[in-house]
Amino acid sequence: MSETDLKLIIDDELDEENNELIENEVLEIKSKVDKKNIKKELSIKDLPGVGAATAEKLESAGYRDIMSVAVSTIGELVESTGASEAVARKMINAARDSMKMGFETGMEVLKKREIVNRISTGSDNFDTLMEGGFETGAITECFGEFGSGKTQIGHILAVNALKENPNAVAVYIDTENTFRPERITQLAEGVGLNPQDVLSRIMVARAFNSDHQMLLAEKVESLINEQGKDVRLVVIDSLTSHFRAEFVGRGTLAERQQKLNRHMHTLAKIACMHNICVYVTNQVMAKPDQFFGDPTTSIGGHIVAHASTFRIYLRKGKKGSRVAKLIDAPNLADGEACFEVLTEGLKDFS
C-alpha cells in the first residue's frame, strides 16, 4: 500500500469519527430546543380572562389547546362559554399572539407543506390528476349524479388511508346508509390488507339529520384528543343530502347556507389542525335555465364550493367507465382522469 493510499484511509476514518461527533452534537442541540419548546407551550388556562370555571367550560366544549381557541370565532366562544364578547375577543387575540399566527415567509409555508400526505385512489390516472392522491390538510369534494362513484371513492380512500400506518384510523360519517363493510372487505383484500384489521380501524357513524351530522363532525376532535386516535381521513357521504331535504323552499335558503357554512368551517378546522384528509360527496341538481353545456350544478352553492380545497366533478363515461374532472384546485392543472370501479378497487380505464 502506498503512502497516499494509507493517508486516504486514515482521512476516511477521521471523517467518519468527525461525522459521528457532529451528529451527536446536532442531536443534543435538537433535544435542548425541543425541551425549550415544550416549556414555552401555553395551555388554555394561561389565556387572559380564563379562570378554572371558564377553562372547564372551554374544555367540555372541545377547546383543548390554544390552537383551538385561536382558530375559533368570537361567536363560537361566546356561545360555548357564556363569556362576554370582549372577553372572547381578548382570549382569541391572546391565543393568536402566542401561536404567532401572523404572516410567514413562503419558505415557512413550503416547510409546513412537507407534512402533507396523499391518499391513493388506486387508479394511476386519478392519482396523477391529483398529483399523488387526495391531500391531507384539505377538503376534497366530489360531486356527480347517482352511480358516478362518489361512495366508492369514499370506501377506497378509507382503506388506502390505513395502508401505510398500522395505527391510522378513518372516520366515516354516513348520511345515506350506504357504508358497506362487505365492500370494505373486498377493497381491503384488493390491496392486500387484512379486512378485519381494516374494519376495526374505520369508525362509522350514521347521521340522522343535519344537526346530528354537524355534531358528529365536531366529535372528531374528541376522538383525537380524548381517545388518542390517529385520524387520517374523515369521509362525509353525503355532505348535503340532509341539508337539502330539511331546508325546502327559498325562504329557508339563508338558514341552510349559514348552517352549511358552520359545518364547512368545522371540517376545514379539523383538516388543517390535525393534517387530516377530509373527503365530502355532493349531489348535483338540474339547472332548469341552462341550455348549453352541462345542465347540472352542485348543491350548497358558493359556500360549499369555496370551502372545498379541491373540487372534482364525476360523470359516467363510455362502457362503464367513470370520468373525474378537476374543477378547482389551488396548485394543480385542470384535467380529467378516466377510471373504472372494479370489485378489487378503482383501476385505470383502458
Interacting residues with Mg ion (CB under 5 A): 150-151, 178
Q: Which does 140 bind (CB under 5 to 8 A by kind): ligand GTP, Mg ion, none?
A: none
Closest to 211 (Cα-Cα) out of 183, 167, 243: 243
Q: Which is nearer to Mg ion, 2 or 343 (CB)?
A: 343
Note whether 342 binds ligand GTP by CB under 6 A. Answer: yes
Cα separation, 43 vs 65, in Å, equals: 6
Note whether 341 binds ligand GTP by CB under 6 A. Answer: yes
Closest contact distance (angstroms) between CB of 143 and ligand GTP is 9
Note whether 343 binds ligand GTP by CB under 6 A. Answer: yes
Closest contact distance (angstroms) between CB of 176 and Mg ion is 6
Q: Which residues, numbered 278-297, are part of the site for ligand GTP (CB under 6 A)?
A: 283
Identity of the residue numbered 306:
H
Q: Which does 122 bind (CB under 5 to 8 A by kind): ligand GTP, Mg ion, none?
A: none
Site residue total, ligand GTP (CB under 6 A): 14
Choices 40-48, 117-125, 145-153, 248-256 (CB under 6 A): range interacting with ligand GTP: 145-153
Sequence-separated (6 or more) residues with CB below 8 Å from residue 170: 157, 158, 161, 162, 201, 202, 203, 231, 232, 233, 234, 235
Closest contact distance (angstroms) between CB of 173 and Mg ion is 13
Cell of 38: 415544550
The three-state secondary structure class of 46 is helix
Q: Which is nearer to ligand GTP, 123 or 152 (CB)?
A: 152
Q: How far is CA 290 from the centre of its chain?
A: 34
Q: Phi, psi (5° rounding) for residue 160?
A: -70, -25
Helix ranges (DSSP H) in 114-252: 124-129, 150-160, 181-190, 195-200, 210-225, 241-246
| Residues at the contact surface with ligand GTP, assessed by CB under 6 A | 144, 146-152, 178, 183, 283, 341-343
